[in-house]
Chain A
Amino acid sequence: MQILTKNQIKMKKRNIISCGALLIMILFMSCKDNNQKKEVSTTDMPISREMKAELTSPPNVPRSVGRRKAKKLIVNMEILEEEGELTDGVKYVYWTFGGSVPGSFIRTRVGDEVEFTLSNHPDNKLPHNIDLHAVTGPGGGAESSFVAPGHEKTFSFKTLNPGLYVYHCATAPVGMHIANGMYGLILVEPAGGLPQVDKEYYIMQGDFYTKGKNGERGLQPFDMQKAVDENADYVVFNGSVNALTGDNAITAKVGETVRLFVGNGGPNLVSSFHVIGEIFDKVHVEGGDTVNENVQTTLIPAGGAAIVEFRVDVPGTFILVDHSIFRAFNKGALGMLKVEGEEDKRIYSGEIREGIYLPEGPGIQNMPTTDEVVESEIPAKSFDEQMKFGKQTYMQTCFACHQAEGQGIPNAFPPLANSDYLNADVERAIDVVVNGLSGEITVNGEKYNSVMTKQLLSSEDVANVLTYVYNSWGNSGKVVTKEMVEKVKNK
């Protein structure tokens, strides 16, 4: 906007010099301009030269437009229908813009004239098109871009409104095209670009509907009925369960400002986007001009987006989730931001002390060195009872992380089912439950680096729960006794 006003001033100056009837006319026009400022001026904004748009696959974002002028921007996008991995062992045929889910990120600025060519690969089976929410025009370009396999279509549009916009395929059956991954983001930056930040990433949530249940292996076809019922098997960031975890995690250094372009392709679910352990300093609500500050969770509608910014102050792994939390832990809507750098104890201390809270007592008491945790009133008399009590303890204490079938959560919490780490050493297992564990371990060939806190359980309970775990899900069938636990405790 700033550049514009300068231009207007320049124009005025020149006109005063040239004088005459023209002057009156132009002045009259610029008055009019001021009244309906934005739309008229953006539409009339001249473009200088041609430029090929840089397209990136998630989580990467093209370079900022910076101070460049509005240009004719050439965007070439290819549609590919191809098989990919939704999660370990589960295959899915994705339909993609540019070979990735979400599709390639397009970065433009206000006033650009985008010449968009959509090519439908000859191997594809279906016709497709694109509806860009950044387009002002019927169907958002859908009509002009409807293209059969082996063909391409070109259309052009001017970016009138700044903001972060979703694009998607709008060919019948629309829901199915979106459900198979045909969505992405297009950013229209204001003149001069968005303020500089240190890191920018591209994240987009989507829900998937497969014939088999979550985790069922093999090539899974799209399930139309589940999609109609809005009963998603997978809710993921960037097209697959592991797209943003482990080695694929996004990274930053302490002190850097991170900007996330977050979209939601749907087709059905809205996202309660949250980063565990961070507060968004700024959120461009719904991808528009309104900036909200100090936000914990921002709602991203299906077919909508938001720009979130925050400075990372302390190191650690920050988990990105859809805070409709079962989606995060059971359906895959989980990503990771790994922050490296110096700790800052003023901001976050880590654990300082542990105590026992007695509501009636005179204050917080320190944990006694001897085991004073109350023993369960009814000790288990048999193996069956041990299993029964052990299961109860498991469901209360362990289930949240290690999951119902002991399968754990990939890249976050190691499995207990068929676990080589567990079966290798009983004393170590007891020690982990009694004293906690942190740091890197390898379980069934996968590396895990997280923290299990010390569990406040009686020796009896520890014996029961470990017996339950050892006698479930294909483990070695060991029986752990109270005495074995005590021995470890007193070491």
Chain B
Amino acid sequence: MKTKVFSLLLICFVCQYLTYGQTEDMVLIEGSRYIPLYGRDSTVVEVNDFKMDKYPVTVEDFELFVKESPKWRKSNAIKLFTDKTYLSNWKNDLESKDSVKSKSPITYVSWFAAKAYCECQNKRLPTVDEWEYVAMADETTKDARIKPTYNEQILSWYEAPRTNENIIGETPKNVWGVYDLHGLVWEWTLDFNSVLITGESRKDVDKDSNLFCGSAAVNATDLMNYAAFMRYAIRGSLKAKYSMKNLGFRCVQDVKTESE
């Protein structure tokens, strides 16, 4: 409890109650149970109600963030939390290069930076289960994974080059009212590497939990969901300090925390 209060205070101090992340740009996601492609423990997972950003965080949003948070500026960022590519398409500490559109999703950010951004707004990164839960919807259905068109559409987006240069809100919004989960950039999740690395070394030896060759198919629930395989693969290849041209993020908020 004590640490919680302390960290809350710390966050308040660092962020100075920034309010630029507008909560009206979030939509309510009603929780439920579903079976993801890969799970940690049991196959069925439960997702509670939460709110999710309609759009990925944009370049513009992030410029505002670093203005207020000097420690996340390119030149100040701690090397433990970022790698050399952090904000590498920015011309200086405060602005992105002129070729970068302000309404494009922010990329070249590490997990630590993304996490800090969300916490500043009293939000957090979504878990893999939450993200996948919202992302399995199409324009009309909450779980569109059985539709062949759903999969094909996503795969063709994944194959299209340079989608990170597009601007937000141009792909069709899904049934929850969320845009761009597919079609723009990959997105950081809170527990992005939990599927592959159990965290316990002995268990890792026993269970072939790698996403390579045959092992990839052993634990999967839906062998036709190639798009999801690709997402789990990209998550598995990441480290928290990595930044990538095609990797951005968006935030979520617990519904309960807000009512408290």
Contact = CB atoms under 8 A, between A and B. Distances in A.
Given A122-B85, A224-B224, A225-B148, A173 B216 contact: yes
Contacts of A139: 210, 212-213
Interface stretch (A9-17, A144-152, A464-472, A476-484): A144-152
Interface in B13-39: none
A340 interface: no
A148 B242 contact: yes
Interface residues of A, number: 32
Interface stretch (A123-131, A319-327, A391-399, A405-413): A123-131
A154 to B, nearest CB: 15
B178 interface: no
B195 to A, nearest CB: 11
Interface in B165-194: 186
A126 B161 CA distance: 11
B212 A170 contact: yes
B246 interface: yes
A149 B152 contact: no
B interface, how many residues as a size bin? 20 to 34
B245 interface: yes
A63 to B, nearest CB: 33
Interface string A84-103: 00000000010000000000
A143 B196 CA distance: 12
A149 to B, nearest CB: 5
A127 B235 CA distance: 9
Contacts of B158: 125-126
Nearest to A172: B216
B230 A123 contact: no
B244 interface: yes
B159 A221 contact: yes
Nearest to A145: B212
Given A143-B212, A148-B238, A224-B155, A171 B245 contact: no
B161 A93 contact: yes
A123 B245 contact: yes
A93 B157 CA distance: 12
B221 to A, nearest CB: 13
Contacts of A173: 216, 226, 229-230, 233
A142 B162 CA distance: 27
Interface in A150-198: 150-151, 170-174, 176
A27 interface: no
Contacts of B159: 93, 125, 221-222
Contacts of B245: 122-123, 149-150
Contacts of B7: none
A313 interface: no
Contact of B161 (A81, A170, A221): A81
B237 interface: yes
A451 interface: no
Contacts of B217: 172
B85 A83 contact: no
Contacts of A81: 161
Contact of A125 (B85, B151, B210, B246): B246
Contacts of B216: 172-174
A480 B229 CA distance: 61
Contacts of A211: 152
B8 interface: no
A81 B161 CA distance: 9
B234 interface: yes
Nearest to B234: A127
Interface string A103-127: 0000000000000000000111111
Contacts of B211: 171-172
A221 B151 CA distance: 12
B237 to A, nearest CB: 3
A400 interface: no
A228 interface: yes
Contacts of A146: 212, 236-237
B237 A172 contact: no
B156 interface: yes
B232 interface: yes
A121 to B, nearest CB: 10
B212 A127 contact: no
Nearest to A147: B237
B207 to A, nearest CB: 14
Given A122-B244, A149-B244, A221-B156, A127 B213 contact: no
A418 B210 CA distance: 55
Nearest to A146: B237
Given A93-B161, A224-B152, A174 B85 contact: no
B139 to A, nearest CB: 20
Nearest to A225: B148
Interface string B72-95: 000000000000010000000000
A253 to B, nearest CB: 43
A174 B226 contact: no
A385 B231 CA distance: 61
Interface in A247-275: none
B230 A151 contact: no
A176 B154 CA distance: 14
A487 B169 CA distance: 72
B236 A127 contact: yes
Contacts of A176: 226, 230
Given A146-B212, A170-B212, A127 B152 contact: no
A150 to B, nearest CB: 5
Nearest to A153: B237
A150 B85 contact: yes
A219 to B, nearest CB: 9
Given A131-B213, A143-B210, A172 B229 contact: yes
A86 B244 CA distance: 29
Nearest to A128: B237
Interface string A223-246: 011001000000000000000000
Contacts of A131: 212-213
Contact of B212 (A122, A123, A125, A171): A171
Contact of A83 (B152, B161, B186, B242): B161
B90 to A, nearest CB: 15
A228 B233 CA distance: 20
B233 A224 contact: no
Contacts of A125: 158-159, 161, 186, 246
8 contacts: A122-B85, A122-B244, A125-B159, A150-B244, A172-B212, A173-B216, A173-B230, A176-B226
Nearest 4 interchain pairs by C-beta: A127-B237, A172-B216, A148-B237, A173-B229
